[in-house]
Structure formats: C-alpha cells, structure tokens
Amino acid sequence: MRVQYDEIHEKLAIIEKSQERYKLSLDSTNDAMWEIDLTTKMFSSSNRFNNITGYDKEVANPIENIIKLVLEEDREIVINDFIDLINGGILYYQCRLKLNFNGIDNRWFLIRSMCLRDTRGVAIKIVGSILGIAIQRNFEEEINKLKYYDILTDTPNRKLFISTLENEIIKSKGTYKQIKLAILFIDLDNFKEVNDTLGHTYGDELLINVANLIKATMAEGDLVSRVGGDEFFILMKSIKDYSKVSRLCVKLQSLLNCAIRIDNKHVYTSASIGIAIFPNDGYDTNILLKNADTAMYSAKNNGKARYSFFNESMSSIIVRRAEIEKGLRNALENNEFEMYYQPQIDIINNKLKGFEALLRWNSAKLGKVSPAEFIPIAEQSGLIVSIGEWIIKMVCLQNSLWKSKGYLYDTIAINLSGIQLQNDDFEENLKNIINETKINPKFVELEITESIFMKDFERSIKLLTAIRELGITIALDDFGTGYSSLSYLKRLPINTLKIDKSFIDNIDTNEREKVIVDGIILLAQKIGLDVIAEGAETKNQIELLKGMGCNQIQGYYFSRPLSACEIEEKFLSTNCINC
Ligand code: C2E
Ligand code: CA
Ligand code: CA
C-alpha cells in the first residue's frame, strides 16, 4: 500500500512540475495568455490578449463570448477538440485559426493550450496562449499562389490543374453515374510570331487577353489553366455529350480566331484545340493529357484554327511522325539519302534542258519514305538546314562531275526550303560549296516557292538578287498554288515559272484550267520569264502545252526521277563506264 502511495505521489509531482514549467514557458513568450477555470467557468486573460483580439474583459458569460471569436464554420471542430483535451484524448492543443479580430476583421492566430489537472487527474483549468501569425500566414498564401497559379494570367497552373483533374477522375470512378469529363488543350497558332515581331510585352498582353476571353466563355465549375507559354487547358466537368464541348469550342474560336486589340494595335491570333474525353479516351490523367495533345497536333496539322476530338488513328499518325523525325536525325550519318534526277526536256528543239534533283530516303528502319512525307517534317524540326546543305553539296558535286565529262545540258535544279534561306549563313555556305565542287554557277538552278516571300519580302529579294549575281538561275516552283500575285511577279529576281502539276493534270479535260495555263504562259513570256510545265504524263498534254507555247516540260511522260547512274546511262551517255 505504501509503495503504491509513493508511486502515485511521485507521478503527481512530475505532472505538477511539468505544468509549472509550461506556465513559466508561456509567461516568458510574447504570446497573449488566457485561462479557463473549469470549476468556476471563469475566463481570464492577459492585457495583451485583450489588445490583439479586442475582447472585452468585463463582459458577462465570458466563455460563450470567447467562443464567438472563432469563426462560425470552425466552431464545432474547435469545441470538440477542447472536449477532447479535457477528457485527455489529446495532451496539447495546437491549431492555426482565423479569429474575429476586434470584431471587424478576420486574422490568423496560432492557438496553443493544455489542460491542468488536480492530483486526482480531474481537469481543473485550460491554459493557453494565442499568437498573431497574420504575416506568416499571408506569406504562406503568397507561396501557395506561386506554387499553384500562373502569375501572368492568374489562372491555376499545370500542377493544380492536374491534381483537380485527378480528383475529378477519382470522384467519377466512385459514382455509378456515367460522368464524363472533357479536357481541352488550346494552343495559340501564331504566338511566337507576335512575340518575335511585336515584343514580349505584347505577347504577355495577348496571353492575359486570351485567358480572360477563355474565363468569360466557360461555365461555372469548369477550370482553365495556363500550362505553358501559349498553352491552356480547360477542364469541363460532368458533360453528358460531345455537343456541349463542340459548342464551347465554336464559341472559343469565334473569340480567338480574330484580331485582339492591344494598345491600339490589332494582334491577329488563332487557336487550335484538341479534346480528350474521360473515360472514352482514357482513364488516367497522363493518357488523357497526351491524347488531348495528340488531338491538338492533329488540328494544327489540318490547317490550324480548328478543333479536333481525339481518335485512335491520330496516335498512329503522331507515332509515325515521331519515327520519321527520329530516323531523319541519323539519316545523313547512316548514308540513307540519295539524290535522284528527273529530266527536263526542251520540246521545241527536242533536247535535254536539264534535271531537277529530288531527294530519296531509304531508311534502315522505315524503308522508303516519300519526300512529300518527310520533307515537311524535316522543315518543321529544322533538320532541313543540315540535310539541305548536304543536298546542295551532292548535287553540285554530281553536276561538276557530269560537266567534266562534257555532258550537254543547261542546269540541274535544287529544291530549297524557306527555312534554309532564313539561315543567315546560307549565301556564304552556297558560295563555299560552289568553290569546293568547282561547278560553274550557270549550271546551277535553285527552285523556291512563293512562301519564302511571305516571311520577309525585302530580305528575300536581296538574298536572291545576290545569288543570281553569282550566275545561278532561279525558278519559282509550284506556280499557281500559292498567292500568285501577278503584280509582284515582276519584282521577283527569278528566271523561270514552274507551272504546278495540278493544272497540267486537267488541261486536256477542263477548259477553265487550260485557259489558266494559257494565261500563265502568255504572262510569263510578256515579262521575259521562261516557263516549264511539270507533271506531264500524256502525249495529249504535251501537245496542248506545245500549242500554248510552253517549250519546256518535266514529267513521267519523258521519265520518272532516276538515280545518277540511270540518268547517265539513259540520258547522258551511250556507254556508261561507272555503272
Ligand atoms: P516538287 O518540288 O514539286 O517536285 C516534283 C514532284 O513531282 C516530285 O515528287 C516528282 O517525282 C513528281 N513528279 C514529276 N513528274 C511527275 C509526273 O508526271 N507525275 C507524277 N505523279 N508526279 C510527278 P517527289 O520526288 O516525290 O517530291 C515531292 C516533293 O518533295 C517535291 O515537290 C518537293 O517539294 C519535295 N522535295 C523533293 N526533293 C527535295 C529536295 O531535295 N529538297 C527539298 N527542299 N524538297 C524536296
Ligand atoms: Ca521542285
Ligand atoms: Ca513543283
């Protein structure tokens, strides 16, 4: 019995000591103190407490009043926590709470308290402190904002978007209702140009405007998020069918595919939108976002300023594109390219005018890939610059070799992509190749398309004039398919117009196209340009072209593009030694 008594006494002494220490530690801090006497139901507090909360000491029913400092929505939880504290369920209470400051304003406080007990363990007092943490809390809010929001457009960022989407997916999986979600991926079509030509301030203003337009278009509960430079995501919740999504896309595009006014300037913009639907296009956030991205890509590839719902066939197109791009990166190194040559015939004098050099790619992994498929990818990925340089070198070398053998023809034409010409080193590189390969520039022709003049007209004119001064001739390819503005044709430093195959295809069946070709030929002759028709396949087409005064023709009728050896064998020499 004595032992038990001593044990209890010892324990109580420890408790009292720790309570004593707790009181002391509270007293020495900056915190404002308060205390509730559970026996008398009295609430007492330090002056500091009254100052920072505006609590009136003299008030009747102090406990009821003190509870009113806690915001209504938190009251039940706080009361339960304190009951827990009194019952011994928790030893210390610590919580960040918004309190009614001075009855006017809500501010953040850190509340700490503990329960004091008598020697029998019965709760007698709750003592505590409060500390204003307004500054820290605002700081935290600020940090949260930085973490989860895009500062420029004040929209949730990718992180917040993804966690919201994940939550919505979990919620829908948990219900029996067929809840569908739509994820829209919006990408501006010409943002880079706005940034490059008008500057970043306009670019930023444009993004803010676009974000505001999107926000104004969305239904309540939907979420918009800027997730990258000019990319936005929209999450549409609980959609029943696709038509609601289509309607939003049409509305968005009517607002975004137009001129947006910024600082008295009109900035022309358009957007491509890709859409993936949960659960039809994927059950998982990553797959849904990837599919929305694929659908957006598809909308862009189909001519921009449009929207596309994801479908499975799109992925295979994207995968193929990625494979081609990957293959192209190693194609030069692996020696997978070869130049083919297609003869161009002077039908009046019945002699060889020259050749067009056409690139062929026999990929180790993908087999033969058509240039119509891989050239656009090489252009978009910028790979055309190094591939293009290789083409010029190879063709000039071949040209030089054939000329050294004394073969008779005027020129070999090399196709140029706009991107090659945009490269500042283009002219210098061309001159170097001409010197290295020792080709007389008069045997070299360059084929360009009208699109290169759209980018920077004056610069292109200057560059091409300089190139022509070297003695190189220039042909305008695919004439008739582009802008074909006749008024500026006279200003272009070109020698030849190449009438596009699509016109030649129909000259023997479609009177209108025949008249157009006739007109082009007349016009070219008037302004002193040569004309060549490409893609002639039948004798009838040749006769008609001849009748219209077109004396140069390239097409399967004479020959398909052939390897250098075959060309040498069939068109240049009667006994080819190298083959
Ligand atoms: P392009 O410059 O318009 O070349 C003419 C295309 O028409 C060639 O296709 C040629 O084989 C084809 N063609 C010529 N005559 C006929 C015909 O009578 N019937 C038919 N059906 N087709 C005919 P290819 O070689 O497949 O090239 C396609 C496009 O790829 C070219 O169109 C050009 O834009 C691009 N390309 C080809 N080689 C190069 C190159 O070395 N550099 C660059 N930048 N682009 C190239
Ligand atoms: Ca061409
Ligand atoms: Ca062409």
As a CATH number, domain 23-132 is 3.30.450.20
Separation of CA 407 and ligand 3 centre (Å): 25
Separation of alpha carbons 553 and 537, rounded Å:
10
Q: Cα dihedral sign for 12, 43, 109, 134?
A: negative
Ligand 1 contact, 534 CB (< 6 A): yes
Separation of alpha carbons 355 and 17, rounded Å:
103
Q: How many CB atoms lie within 10 A of CB 337?
A: 17
| Strands (E) located in 320-382 | 337-346, 351-363, 367-369
Instruction: List the structure tokens of 515.
Output: 């008249």
Q: Which atom of ligand 1 is nearest to the CA of 478?
A: 3
Domain boundaries along the sequence of the chain: 23-132, 153-310, 336-358+383-572
Ligand 1 contact, 359 CB (< 6 A): yes
Tell the residue nearest (CA) to atom 34 of ligand 1. 372
As a CATH number, domain 336-358+383-572 is 3.20.20.450
Q: Which atom of ligand 1 is nearest to the CA of 379?
A: 44
Name 274's bridge partners: 185, 308
Ligand 1 contact, 371 CB (< 6 A): yes
Q: Which atom of ligand 1 is nearest to the CA of 556?
A: 18
Alpha helices in 42-190 (DSSP H): 47-53, 62-67, 72-87, 134-148, 158-173
Residue 33: partners with Cβ closer than 8 Å, 6 or more residues away = 26, 27, 45, 46, 48, 49, 127, 128, 129
Separation of CA 415 and ligand 2 centre (Å): 5
Ligand 1 contact, 535 CB (< 6 A): yes
Which residue matches tokens 């001409």? 434
Ligand 1 contact, 195 CB (< 6 A): no
Per run of 10 residues, the mean pLDDT along the chain (length 579 residues) is 52 54 51 84 80 70 77 85 84 80 71 85 87 68 78 91 90 75 94 82 90 90 92 92 92 85 79 95 94 93 87 88 94 97 95 97 96 93 94 98 96 96 94 97 96 82 96 94 71 93 92 91 91 96 95 97 97 60
Q: How far apart are the first and last CA of the chain?
A: 117
The answer to whether the CB of 130 falls within 8 A of the CB of 31 is yes
Separation of alpha carbons 272 and 298, rounded Å:
9
Tell the residue nearest (CA) to atom 13 of ligand 1. 535
Tell the residue nearest (CA) to atom 37 of ligand 1. 358
Separation of CA 499 and ligand 2 centre (Å): 10
Separation of CA 462 and ligand 3 centre (Å): 23
| Strands (E) located in 306-443 | 307-309, 337-346, 351-363, 367-369, 411-415
Look at the chain and count its residues. 579
Ligand 1 contact, 370 CB (< 6 A): yes
Ligand 1 contact, 555 CB (< 6 A): yes
Tell the residue nearest (CA) to atom 11 of ligand 1. 561
Tell the residue nearest (CA) to atom 12 of ligand 1. 535
Q: Which ligand is nearest to the CA of 359?
A: 1
Ligand 1 contact, 561 CB (< 6 A): yes
Which residue matches tokens 């406080």? 109
**Domain topology for 153-310:** Alpha-Beta Plaits (3.30.70)
Ligand 1 contact, 373 CB (< 6 A): no
Strand order in the sheet with 92-101: 42-45, 32-37, 123-132, 105-117, 92-101
Instruction: List the structure tokens of 543.
Output: 């006769």
Separation of CA 390 and ligand 2 centre (Å): 17
* pLDDT computed for residue 117 by the predictor: 87
Ligand 1 contact, 415 CB (< 6 A): yes
Separation of alpha carbons 86 and 41, rounded Å:
13
Tell the residue nearest (CA) to atom 8 of ligand 1. 358
Ligand 1 contact, 559 CB (< 6 A): no
- Residues, Cβ < 5 Å to ion ligand 3: 477-478
User: Cα separations (Å) of 460 from 384, 451, 492?
Assistant: 18, 10, 9
Tell the residue nearest (CA) to atom 43 of ligand 1. 415
* pLDDT computed for residue 14 by the predictor: 57
Tell the residue nearest (CA) to atom 29 of ligand 1. 372
Ligand 1 contact, 457 CB (< 6 A): no
Q: Which atom of ligand 1 is nearest to the CA of 536?
A: 18
Q: Which ligand is nearest to the CA of 475?
A: 2
Residue 41: partners with Cβ closer than 8 Å, 6 or more residues away = 63
- Ligand 1 pocket, mutate which of 328, 361, 370, 375 (most atoms under 8 A from CB): 375
Separation of alpha carbons 346 and 107, rounded Å:
89
Separation of CA 315 and ligand 1 centre (Å): 27
Ligand 1 contact, 389 CB (< 6 A): no
Residue 190: partners with Cβ closer than 8 Å, 6 or more residues away = 268, 269, 270
- In this structure, what are the phi and psi dihedrals at residue 220, rounded to the nearest 5 degrees? -65, 140
- Ligand 1 pocket, mutate which of 340, 345, 358, 452 (most atoms under 8 A from CB): 358
| Strands (E) located in 199-350 | 223-228, 231-239, 258-262, 265-269, 271-278, 307-309, 337-346
Assess whether the previous peptide bond of 156 is cis (omega < 30° from 0).
no
State the Cα torsion 544-548-554-559 to the nearest 10°.
Answer: 30
Tell the residue nearest (CA) to atom 25 of ligand 1. 358
Separation of alpha carbons 324 and 479, rounded Å:
28
Ligand 1 contact, 331 CB (< 6 A): no
Separation of CA 477 and ligand 2 centre (Å): 6
- Residues, Cβ < 5 Å to ion ligand 2: 415, 447, 477
Q: Closest Cα to residue 472, out of 499, 496, 498, 436? A: 496
Ligand 1 contact, 480 CB (< 6 A): no
Q: Which atom of ligand 1 is nearest to the CA of 340?
A: 25
